[in-house]
C-alpha cells in the first residue's frame, strides 16, 4: 500500500511538472515518466482518439504500480481502465460472504484521479473463481452468484461505466460451456446475473464478454449472437457485447470481416467494446522487423473495424507493456504457441513499438 501511494505521489508530481513544462513539439510520444504525466498529453492515444469518440483502454494491475513509469505512462496514454484481476471473484470474495475490495478500490481511485473511465471485469466467470464455489449445490450456487453480483456491483455503484457481467459463458461450439459450474443453473443464470447487476448499479452499462467471437461465420460467434439477441429481446438489461480480441496470427479475420461481424451485433441495438486486445508475435513468420510490422498491421485492422462501426465505443489493450502481458508468463504464454509474444503497444522499457505508431496513425485516420 505504502509503495503504491508513494508511486502515485511521484506520479502526481510528474504530472504537474509535465503540465507546466514546454509544450509537446509534435514529435512522437516517448514514454518518459518525468514529462509524461499530463492526463491528456498531446499526441497520446487518448488525445488522438478524442475526435473519434472512442475510449482508449488498458488493463492495469495494482502489483505493477510501484514502478513509477507504469502509472505515468498508463494515465498519459489511456482514458479507460480495466482491472486485470482485482475485481474477479477470487479477488473480491475469497471466502463465502467475505469480501475484499481494497485492490479494486485502488484502481478505481487511480482512474478517477486521471479522468479514466472504469470497465469492471468481471462478475460471473468460470475462471479465477474461488474454490469454495465449486462445492455448492444448485440452489446454493444461485444464491451465491446473486449475492456476489449484488455486493461487488454495489461496492462501486456510480463509479463503473461498464461491467463485464458474464464472461466466456459459451464454448467453441456456441453452447453453454460444460466446464463452468454456472451452466448447471441453466441459461437463465445469465439473465439473472444481468438483472442483479442492474439493480445494484442502475447506471452501469452491462456487457456480455467473450473471446473468439470476432470471425463472422463460426459456431461460437453464432452461439454468442443468439445468446445476446435472446437476452436483448427478452428485455434483460444488457447494453453491450465485449469482443476480447486476443489476436491469433495463425488465423485471424480480416478487418472487413470483423467490421461486418461488429455491424451484425450493433443491429441488435447493443454497444460494442473491444475489451482485451493483444497481438502475439510468436507465430508470425519472418524476422523481427517483419514480425513487428505484421503486428502493427493486425492491430490496425482491429482498430479500423471499431472505428468503422458507430456502436463501437472503446478499445482496451490487455496490459500496458510487454513486460506486463499475461502472455509473458510461463502459465499463459505457451498456450498461444511459440513465444516470445511481446503482444502489446510498449516494449519492456516502456518505449512505443511500431504497433503503437500504427494504432496512433489509424486513430488519426492516416
Active site residues: 168, 276
> Residue 44 or residue 244: which is nearer to ligand XIL going by CB?
244
Nearest to 212 by CA among 123, 293, 275: 275
Dihedral sign of CA atoms 162, 163, 166, 167 in order? positive
For the record, the C-alpha cell of 261 comes out as 461481424
> Residue 225 or residue 317: which is nearer to ligand XIL going by CB?
317
> Residue 208 or residue 350: which is nearer to ligand XIL going by CB?
208
DSSP letters along 311-334, please? TEEEEEES-SBGGG-GGGSTTTGG
Cα–Cα dist 134/88, whole Å: 15
> Residue 84 or residue 192: which is nearer to ligand XIL going by CB?
84
Judged by CB under 6 A, the chain residues 12 through 71 that form the site for ligand XIL are none
> Residue 15 or residue 166: which is nearer to ligand XIL going by CB?
166
Residue 85 CB, nearest approach to ligand XIL (Å): 5
Judged by CB under 6 A, the chain residues 255 through 294 that form the site for ligand XIL are 276
Distance of CA 312 to the CA centre of its chain: 14
Q: Count residues near ligand XIL (CB under 6 A).
A: 6
Cβ neighbours for 172, distance < 8 A, ≥ 6 positions apart: 212, 219, 220
Residue 244 CB, nearest approach to ligand XIL (Å): 6
* CB atoms inside a 10 Å sphere around CB 166: 29
Q: Which residue sits closest to ligand XIL, CB atoms considered?
A: 326
Residue 12 CB, nearest approach to ligand XIL (Å): 27
Residue 238 CB, nearest approach to ligand XIL (Å): 17
Nearest to 221 by CA among 193, 253, 197, 249: 253
Nearest to 158 by CA among 200, 203, 112: 203
326 binds ligand XIL (CB under 6 A): yes
> Residue 156 or residue 318: which is nearer to ligand XIL going by CB?
318
> Residue 244 or residue 259: which is nearer to ligand XIL going by CB?
244
Find out whether 168 and 178 touch, Cβ atoms under 8 Å.
Answer: no
Cα–Cα dist 184/226, whole Å: 19
Judged by CB under 6 A, the chain residues 232 through 251 that form the site for ligand XIL are 244
Cβ neighbours for 131, distance < 8 A, ≥ 6 positions apart: none
Nearest to 308 by CA among 270, 256, 267, 254: 256
Upstream peptide bond of 236 is cis (omega within 30 degrees of 0): no
Nearest to 95 by CA among 62, 130, 124, 121: 130
Cβ neighbours for 223, distance < 8 A, ≥ 6 positions apart: 170, 171, 173, 174, 175
Cβ neighbours for 45, distance < 8 A, ≥ 6 positions apart: 56, 77, 78, 345, 356, 359, 360, 363
Residue 104 CB, nearest approach to ligand XIL (Å): 14
Residue 37 CB, nearest approach to ligand XIL (Å): 25
Residue 266 CB, nearest approach to ligand XIL (Å): 22
Residue 205 CB, nearest approach to ligand XIL (Å): 17
CA distances from 168 to 101, 192, 242, 337 (A): 23, 16, 10, 21
Judged by CB under 6 A, the chain residues 199 through 228 that form the site for ligand XIL are none
> Residue 198 or residue 246: which is nearer to ligand XIL going by CB?
246
| Interaction site with ligand XIL (CB under 6 A) | 84-85, 167, 244, 276, 326
Amino acid at each position: 500500500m505504502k509503495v503504491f501511494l508513494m508511486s502515485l505521489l511521484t506520479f502526481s508530481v510528474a504530472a504537474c511538472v509535465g503540465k507546466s513544462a514546454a509544450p509537446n513539439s509534435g514529435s512522437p510520444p516517448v514514454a518518459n515518466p518525468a514529462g509524461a504525466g499530463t492526463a491528456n498529453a498531446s499526441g497520446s492515444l487518448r488525445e488522438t482518439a478524442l475526435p473519434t469518440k472512442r475510449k482508449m483502454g488498458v488493463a492495469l494491475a495494482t502489483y505493477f504500480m510501484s514502478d513509477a513509469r507504469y502509472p505515468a505512462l498508463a494515465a498519459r496514454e489511456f482514458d479507460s481502465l480495466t482491472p486485470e484481476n482485482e475485481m474477479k471473484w477470487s479477488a473480491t470474495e475469497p471466502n463465502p460472504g467475505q469480501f475484499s475490495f481494497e485492490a479494486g478500490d485502488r484502481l478505481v481511485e487511480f482512474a478517477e484521479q486521471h479522468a479514466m473511465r472504469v470497465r469492471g471485469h468481471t462478475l460471473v466467470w468460470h475462471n479465477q473463481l474461488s474454490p469454495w464455489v465449486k462445492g455448492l449445490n444448485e440452489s446454493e450456487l444461485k444464491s451465491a452468484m446473486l449475492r456476489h453480483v449484488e455486493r461487488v456491483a454495489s461496492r462501486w455503484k456510480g463509479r463503473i461505466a461498464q461491467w463485464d457481467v458474464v464472461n466466456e459463458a459459451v464454448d467453441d461450439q456456441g453452447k453453454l460451456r460444460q466446464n463452468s459450474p454456472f451452466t448447471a443453473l441453466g441459461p437463465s443464470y445469465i439473465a439473472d446475473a444481468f438483472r442483479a447487476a442492474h439493480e445494484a448499479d442502475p447506471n452501469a452499462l452491462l456487457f456480455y464478454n467473450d473471446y473468439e467471437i470476432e470471425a463472422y461465420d463460426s459456431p461460437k460467434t453464432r452461439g454468442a449472437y443468439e445468446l445476446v439477441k435472446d437476452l436483448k429481446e427478452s428485455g434483460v438489461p444488457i447494453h453491450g457485447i465485449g469482443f476480447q480480441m486476443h489476436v491469433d496470427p495463425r488465423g485471424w479475420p480480416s478487418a472487413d470481416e470483423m467490421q461486418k461481424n461488429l455491424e451484425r451485433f450493433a443491429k441488435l441495438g447493443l454497444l460494442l467494446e473491444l475489451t482485451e486486445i493483444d497481438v502475439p508475435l510468436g507465430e508470425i513468420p519472418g524476422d523481427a522487423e517483419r514480425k513487428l510490422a505484421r503486428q502493427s498491421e493486425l492491430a490496425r485492422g482491429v482498430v479500423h473495424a471499431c472505428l468503422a462501426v458507430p456502436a463501437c465505443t472503446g478499445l482496451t489493450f490487455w496490459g500496458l507493456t510487454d513486460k506486463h502481458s499475461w502472455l509473458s508468463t510461463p502459465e499463459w504464454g505457451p498456450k498461444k504457441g511459440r513465444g516470445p509474444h511481446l503482444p502489446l503497444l510498449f516494449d519492456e522499457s516502456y518505449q512505443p513499438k511500431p504497433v503503437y505508431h500504427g494504432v496512433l496513425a489509424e486513430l488519426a485516420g492516416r
